[in-house]
Amino acid sequence: MVIHSERSPAEEQLVAAFRAVFDASVMNFGSYNLLYAENIFGREEHPELLLASRGAPSADLSAQEAVEAARHLLVGYRREPAEMVLCPIDPAAMFPPTETAEAVSPRVPALVNLTNLAGMASEGTTVEIAMSTGRRIKLDIRTPVTFEQIPEVPLHQELDIEDFYTFLDHFMDVIERKGS
């Protein structure tokens, strides 16, 4: 969402709300490009309500467990170093965005890089990521995206998606070079 395009003021507020959550959650946040994706494997609409199998609150979940279970994710990615950051979000808590929004609650993101990626495959609008811990995330990356809380404000991310797929090619090239 750093690629500039013609967006309405309402859509710019939506992008700013996403950026605020990501920036509050990730160190070195300014060096990441950003897009929204739905995790097809995710079960939870509200990540803060997640319970671990032993009944512990979501704070006791690992970052990868929380991301794997979350339905809505922000995907931050950068080419140097080649990595992705998956950050769970709760659209119900974020929307509708306002100019005077309260302080943003940071989320615990999961890093995907050369040390913990077990595999990745893309087909159509989906990208499946397998982590070395056995956790799996399947991103559904679409445009436009609408959210039930603000159906009148579609998120257009065509250019972001195009850039993300270019990044994935780069990421896989880096992995292949490292492996050889």
Q: How far apart are CA 135 and CA 126, in angstroms?
A: 17
Of the two residues 178 and 111, the one the predictor is more confident about is: 111
Q: How far apart are CA 156 and CA 31, in angstroms?
A: 21
In one-letter notation, the amino acid at residue 107 is R
What's the CA angle centered on 36, arms 33 and 40, to 5 degrees?
Answer: 130
pLDDT tens string 3-12:
556 889 999 9
Quote the pTM value.
Answer: 0.85
Report the pLDDT value the prediction gives residue 91, as an integer from 0 to 100: 86
Averaged pLDDT, 14-24: 91
Q: Residue 163: which pLDDT band, with cuts at 50, 70 and 90?
A: very high
Q: Please, which residues bridge with residue 128 across strands?
A: 121, 138
Q: How far apart are CA 35 and CA 75, in angstroms?
A: 5
- The contacts of residue 124 (CB under 8 Å, 6+ apart) are none
Length of the chain: 180
Averaged pLDDT, 37-61: 63
Report the pLDDT value the prediction gives residue 53, as an integer from 0 to 100: 42
Report the pLDDT value the prediction gives residue 56, as an integer from 0 to 100: 44
